């Protein structure tokens, strides 16, 4: 089997497949016992920055489930170090940025490091995974989109209303532009490095972009996401553009770029195809909470997604957001089997 | 001027108005000095349960700004006491439900109290406000919608992923039904009491319903919201149906009921009218964060909303969610003036 001939990559190009490919965002993580065991010995950052450990964790779900893609184990915030932004993952609280950017002066202090060098451990992990990975399983690389990364850098962590992010965007357009340009440059070089190391598809995570009104997205966010996609085009690999709560942004996200659009459960695949055109490959969109529901309910939900997918060659089955830590592994296994069995052409 | 002839009520009925009416969700609250001063002496619950204080706070923004409506000062969780659910407002953490409902056994324990008696202080506050309120300013009563109330009762407070709420809904449909029926009954009687006391319009807050997929909304939520609207119809007053992140639920929310649909900034008014039909009055939809932006940006944002409103008689200017505590009062004042001046017919 040729390297570019696997199920996931074909679906990303809208080509006929023998059945619908499936993978899960955050498929390597706390819901898996083997991951929790490793985490007793190593922190999240230690795993991400050690290529051997990152490879191991990337492959954990692949060994256990019949998934069609591996996604390199990392965190969207790691490239921040290349910009001089220090942070940590506080126990049970998620990421904490030590000195959030709140003013033009703060933004001035960001610098463009040397992403190729600073993030070399990720490229090395990708090379290690590729040598072990079955060629029929695709390896996905990823990065955070400029808005979502900016929101962490500005808020200092997760936010409910994105007050500081929007205020910086509204109040200091020049500082916003510089911040977004810097993130854009780092992420583009980071993603290019991942592709050169062997990533066969790329996902850009704009997880929090759904907090914006369409006009703000168009003016202050789209140009930067677009620049990343434009610059990655030369690599001719599938680019997945993902966000949550994006029902009113879908057309603009497609305009920004990406060969595949990732959507969450708030919008039906049918509606998304209706709006983006039937030729646009879509990834999604089971609610991660459904993976914790009783088996009969879970199956019903999977059937709903597949029915909407309706054998569309450009459907990649996934969740609408990452797997929750409380998820039973048996349910993950069942969903992978159902998706393959129920969509066999 | 007749009692039902004021600007807000006319706009709710889609009738011609001399200019677009404006009010703000959470227009009485922490962003106002006079409110913070009262809060030094009284807790939130003390203010809500004391009709004289509740009246005072309700009127604070009316005395300061040229608003077209007052909304009775209260909290959507107060009716919980009538169901035997105890809670508190923890400093800086929002509401905390003491024993969240997580199982059918927990749900069994809820009882239907005597809303008319248990919530009599709200009705009294409404009567007091009405005697002092200028007849050209409408008085709005409100309650939480069944889903949003259930989410607090089940999660125990605010939630990011509504895991427990969805799981109870998926796993124990009978318990879910009983819980929703109980909430429905309490809220209907609570709202009817408010109308009888003098509320001239009612807003049902389904603030968190945007976390659901449309199919779950249709099956597990809509029937209960609908029942409330159906039962309130006999009162022949405007019913405002509000939620955030509802871009994919709008048609279903309209089907559930309400004479006015409230939307947030994530969807343009133009798009909402396109989907709901031009005859549907809409309330919204400035991003509350815009009220903290520099004056020129704020004005641009207000102009955008008004342009989309385009002199539609059925437009009620409001935010897409509640005023933030950090909001400068001068900006609130400016927006009220702009809306009236810029939409003068």
Question: Which one is predicted more confidently, A4 or A109?
Answer: A109
Fold held by B3-342: TIM Barrel (3.20.20)
Rounded to an integer, the average pLDDT of B191-197 is 98
Rounded to an integer, the average pLDDT of B207-225 is 98
B288 touches chain A (CB under 8 A): yes
Decide if B171 and A297 are in contact by the 8 Å CB cutoff.
yes
Q: Which of A205-214, A235-244, B242-251, B305-314 comes out lowest in average pLDDT?
A: B305-314
Decide if B170 and A265 are in contact by the 8 Å CB cutoff.
no
Residue B29 in tokens: 């609250």
Could you read off the pLDDT of A36-63 as tens digits, one per residue?
Answer: 999 999 999 999 999 999 999 999 999 9
Q: Give A287's contacts in chain B (Cβ within 8 Å).
A: 166, 213
Decide if B292 and A163 are in contact by the 8 Å CB cutoff.
yes
Give Cα B54 to chain centroid, integer Å. Answer: 16
Q: Which of B31, B152, B217, B224 is catalytic?
A: B152
Q: Give B245's contacts in chain A (Cβ within 8 Å).
A: 210, 245, 266
For chain A, the average pLDDT equals 96
* pLDDT at B211 exceeding the cut of 60: yes
Q: In degrees, to the nearest 5, what angle opens at C-alpha A129 toward C-alphas A123 and A133?
A: 145
Decide if A265 and B292 are in contact by the 8 Å CB cutoff.
no
Find the helix or strand (DSSP H, E) in which B213 lies.
Answer: none
Could you read off the pLDDT of A187-227 as tens digits, one per residue?
Answer: 999 999 999 999 999 999 999 999 999 999 999 999 999 99
DSSP 3-state assignment of B340? helix
Q: Residue B13 catalytic?
A: no
Question: Which one is predicted more confidently, B312 or A71?
Answer: A71
Could you read off the pLDDT of B62-119 as tens digits, one per residue?
Answer: 999 999 999 999 999 999 999 999 999 988 778 999 999 999 999 999 989 999 999 9
Could you read off the pLDDT of A288-317 as tens digits, one per residue?
Answer: 999 999 999 999 999 999 999 887 899 999
Q: Give A211's contacts in chain B (Cβ within 8 Å).
A: 266
Rounded to an integer, the average pLDDT of B203-212 is 98
* pLDDT at B226 exceeding the cut of 80: yes
CA–CA min distance A290, chain B (Å)? 8
- pLDDT at residue number B133: 97
- pLDDT at residue number A4: 67
- Which residues, numbered 248 to 287 in chain A, qualify as contacts with chain B under a Cβ-Cβ cut-off of 8 Å? 248, 265-268, 271, 287
- pLDDT at residue number A85: 96
Residue A334 in tokens: 């069942």
- Considering only the top CATH level, what class is A3-8+29-262? alpha beta
Residue of chain B whose alpha carbon sits nearest to that of A263:
B213
- Selected for mutation to probe chain B from A170, A249, A267, A322 (highest B CB count within 10 Å) is A170
Could you read off the pLDDT of A257-284 as tens digits, one per residue?
Answer: 999 999 999 999 999 999 999 999 999 9
Rounded to an integer, the average pLDDT of A16-33 is 97
CB-defined contacts A:B, below 8 A: 92
- Selected for mutation to probe chain B from A213, A214, A306, A322 (highest B CB count within 10 Å) is A213
Q: Residue B39 catalytic?
A: yes
- pLDDT at residue number B342: 97
Rounded to an integer, the average pLDDT of A2-18 is 88
Of B213, B89, B87, B76, give the one whose Cα is nearest residue B148.
B76
- pLDDT at residue number A28: 97
Q: Which of B30, B64, B178, B275 is catalytic?
A: B30
C-alpha span between A118 and A185 (Å, rounded): 14
Residues 6+ apart with CB under 8 A from A91: none
Q: What is the 3-state secondary structure (H, E, C) of chain A?
A: CCHHHCHHHHHHCCCCCCCCCECCCCCCCCCCHHHHHHHHHCCHHHHHHCHHHHHHHHHHHHHHCCCCEEECCCCCCHHHHHHCCCEEEECCCEEEECCCCCCHHHHHCCCCCCHHHHCHHHHHHHHHHHHHCCCCCEEEEEEECHHHHHHHHHHCCCCCCCHHHHHHHHHCHHHHHHHHHHHHHHHHHHHHHHHHHCCCEEEEEECCHHHCCHHHHHHHHHHHHHHHHHHHHHHCCCEEEEECCCCCCHHHHHHHCCCEEECCCCCCHHHHHHHHCCCCCEEEEECHHHHHCCHHHHHHHHHHHHHHHCCCCCEEEEECCCCCCCCCHHHHHHHHHHHHHHCCC
Could you read off the pLDDT of A93-152 as tens digits, one per residue?
Answer: 789 999 999 999 999 999 899 999 999 999 999 999 999 999 999 999 999 999 999 999
For chain B, the average pLDDT equals 96
C-alpha span between A209 and B277 (Å, rounded): 28
- pLDDT > 90: percent of chain B: 95
C-alpha span between A265 and A25 (Å, rounded): 14
- Selected for mutation to probe chain A from B169, B213, B249 (highest A CB count within 10 Å) is B213
B316 falls in which pLDDT band (50, 70, 90)?
very high
Specify the residue for token string 């759904």: A210
Q: Which of B87-91, B147-151, B206-210 comes out lowest in average pLDDT?
A: B87-91
Q: Give A215's contacts in chain B (Cβ within 8 Å).
A: 268, 304
- pLDDT at residue number A1: 47
Q: Where are the domains of chain B?
A: 3-342
- pLDDT at residue number B1: 47
C-alpha span between A39 and A61 (Å, rounded): 15
- pLDDT > 70: percent of chain B: 99
Q: Residue B178 catalytic?
A: no
**A141 pairs with which residues across the strands?**
A202
A92 touches chain B (CB under 8 A): no
């Amino acid at each position: 089997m040729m390297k570019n001939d696997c199920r996931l990559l074909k679906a990303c190009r809208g080509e006929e497949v023998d059945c619908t490919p499936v993978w899960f965002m955050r498929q390597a993580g706390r819901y898996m016992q083997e991951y929790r065991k490793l985490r007793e010995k190593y922190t999240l950052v230690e795993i991400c920055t050690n290529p051997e450990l990152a490879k191991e964790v990337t492959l954990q779900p692949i060994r256990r489930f019949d998934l069609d893609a591996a996604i390199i184990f990392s965190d969207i915030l790691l490239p921040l170090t290349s910009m001089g932004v220090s942070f940590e993952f506080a126990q049970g609280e998620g990421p904490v940025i030590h000195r959030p950017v709140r003013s033009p002066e703060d933004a001035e202090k960001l610098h463009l490091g040397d992403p190729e060098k600073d993030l070399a451990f990720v490229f090395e992990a990708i090379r290690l995974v590729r040598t072990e990975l079955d060629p029929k399983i695709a390896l996905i690389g990823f990065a955070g989109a400029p808005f979502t990364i900016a929101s962490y850098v500005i808020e200092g962590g997760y936010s409910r209303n994105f007050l500081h992010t929007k205020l910086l965007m509204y109040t200091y357009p020049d500082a916003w532009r510089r911040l977004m340009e810097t993130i854009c440059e780092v992420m583009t070089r980071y993603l290019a490095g991942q592709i050169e190391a062997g990533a066969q598809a790329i996902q850009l995570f704009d997880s929090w972009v759904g907090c914006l009104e369409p006009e703000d997205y168009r003016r202050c966010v789209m140009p930067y996401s677009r620049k990343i996609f434009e610059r990655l085009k030369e690599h001719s690999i599938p680019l997945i553009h993902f966000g949550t709560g994006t029902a009113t942004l879908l057309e603009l996200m497609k305009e920004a770029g990406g060969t595949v659009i990732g959507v969450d459960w708030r919008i039906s695949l049918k509606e998304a195809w209706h709006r983006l055109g039937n030729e646009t490959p879509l990834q999604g969109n089971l609610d991660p909470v459904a993976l914790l529901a009783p088996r009969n309910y879970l199956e019903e939900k999977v059937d709903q997604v597949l029915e909407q997918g309706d054998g569309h060659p450009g459907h990649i089955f996934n969740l609408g957001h990452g797997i929750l830590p409380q998820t039973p592994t048996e349910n993950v296994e069942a969903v992978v089997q159902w998706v393959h069995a129920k969509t066999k052409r």
